[in-house]
Amino acid sequence: MEIAPCLIDGRLYTGHGETLEVRNPATNAIVGIVPVCSAALATSAADAAVTAFSSWKRTTAAHRAQLLRSVAAGIRTARDAFATTITLECGKPMLEARGEVEYSASFFDAAASAGEMLEGSTIASRIADRRVFAVREPLGATMAITPWNFPLAMIARKTGPALAAGCTQVVKPSEETPLSASLLGKTMLECGIPAGVFNCVTGDPASIAGALLCHAGMRKLSFTGSTEVGRLLARQASDRLMRCALELGGNAPFIVFADADLARAADQLIAAKFRFMGQTCISANRVFVQRGVLPAFIALLESRMDGLLLGDPLQETTRIGPLISDAAVAKVERHVQDAIARGARLRRGGKIATLKGMSQRFFEPTLLEGGTAGMACACEETFGPILTLHEFETEEEVIESANAVAVGLAAYVMTQDADRLWRVVEQLDAGVIGANDGAPSAAEAPFGGFKESGYGKEGGRIGVEEYTRVKYVSMRVRVP
């Protein structure tokens, strides 16, 4: 099997023997191998990024935008290869993998446009002969560590804005899904991104991250992954006072008021809950339904869940593929059993689905009612296809319940009352709100969480600004 290369200083690198296997979660078959880069190699990638920064920062925003748009076009041209790679390495159903490819390309387009529009400011001075300016400049060489659940998009969301702002980057993708990152490296090369501007290294997470975090030239860590690892890396980064952006785990509330368009709310919930089998950071984790409409809402959900076809994720018709690992399946099973033990009623699903020729990682889309705050599925991010319904009475009560967790990434509210909608939006303690919208992600929007879901924004104009620093210039002028 051919080694999927890393990209270091403009050269594709296949290593000196030690490799990492990448397995298809649907079948357990090996679908690729990548080199294990040493800490020393990660340091050379960081050196390359630092060297490349000195010339990349001097290119015009328009020039960088042009190159980034060609990367977007390159991704779209290789759409099928990218989508198949995503599906093979993380088990994402093909239809969604195609969506991720387009979503990824859109990050490069959006960053290109935002980079061209970056602005500083002129500030009114209190002194007659003084002029005051705030000038934006790129931060420098940066590092990015990404998760397995969006193998391409989470890189695009960091690399697009970084490069648009004039920064360079070293990316360490998840060891579970390094193949899309390798393909992106090749695309970058083909599109003329200069040597050292984008680098990708694979291998042991702790040793690569350690080498990059203690590199004197690294100016920013952008991390997407679990709160636990984010906390660890932020601690390490604090030694050098490195700027951090942390996109961490969530535990999203999804609130359905009795005055919602229930059919529409059910559609939005199916998208928010079962997209990638619930393995997204903004997946609805606690579903609150107002008393009175629960039976009608359950009927609407059940009719939609009938259409969630389980199968090989490579098939276009498949809506539910495998979970990423045996550990993920075990967590989902634990959450179901814990909920039942604490009084929840299982309406459908709740067990592993056995499919011919497939692994034991397929879990039936599950519907539970009678959810309560103490259940594991309410306290922890499930990251699986379990939909647990909690009943509530009043607006005040549901807002309190929605906010009563340590994290605050996404929250959803479904209602047709515009006053209530805005009132609730203002009180929800989450960085991303789906207001009658179950799929709120967009390349042009500033995505990011509150509380223990991290800090920093990715996407749109703010996403590019986060890769800049503000230099304040005070200038004396001779005035008559």
Catalytic residues: 247, 281
Euclidean distance between the first and final Cα of the chain, in Å?
76
Distance in Å, CB of 175 to ligand NAD, minimum = 5
Distance in Å, CB of 104 to ligand NAD, minimum = 13
The DSSP element (H or E) to which 464 belongs, if any, is: helix 460-465
104: tokens are: 């990824």
- Name the residue number minimizing CB distance to ligand NAD: 225
Residue 429's Cβ-side half-sphere holds a number of Cα atoms within 13 Å equal to 16
- The answer to whether the CB of 309 falls within 8 A of the CB of 317 is yes
Contacts with ligand NAD, residue ranges (CB under 6 A): 145-150, 154, 172, 174-175, 205-206, 209, 224-226, 229, 232-233, 247-250, 281, 381, 409, 449
3-state class percentages of the chain: helix first, strand second, coil last, to nearest 5: 40, 25, 35
- The answer to whether the CB of 409 falls within 8 A of the CB of 362 is no
> Tell me, what amino acid is at 60?
T
Task: Residue 334: count other Cβ atoms within 10 Å of its Cβ.
Answer: 14
Looking at beta carbons only, is 70 or 285 nearer to ligand NAD? 285
105: tokens are: 């390309």
Distance in Å, CB of 133 to ligand NAD, minimum = 34
Looking at beta carbons only, is 112 or 233 nearer to ligand NAD? 233
Residue 113's Cβ-side half-sphere holds a number of Cα atoms within 13 Å equal to 12
- Extract the runs of DSSP E, i.e. beta strands, from 141-248: 141-145, 168-172, 198-200, 218-224, 243-247
Distance in Å, CB of 480 to ligand NAD, minimum = 55
Distance in Å, CB of 379 to ligand NAD, minimum = 14
Q: What residues have CB less than 8 Å from 342, skipping those under 6 apart?
A: 372, 374, 375
Looking at beta carbons only, is 209 or 260 nearer to ligand NAD? 209
Distance in Å, CB of 434 to ligand NAD, minimum = 14
Looking at beta carbons only, is 70 or 280 nearer to ligand NAD? 280
Looking at beta carbons only, is 36 or 301 nearer to ligand NAD? 36
Closest listed residue to residue 55, CA positions, set 194, 148, 263 = 194
Looking at beta carbons only, is 15 or 178 nearer to ligand NAD? 178
> Distance between CA atoms of 102 and 112, rounded to whole angstroms?
15
Task: Residue 66: count other Cβ atoms within 10 Å of its Cβ.
Answer: 14
66: tokens are: 């042009």
- The answer to whether the CB of 231 falls within 8 A of the CB of 156 is no
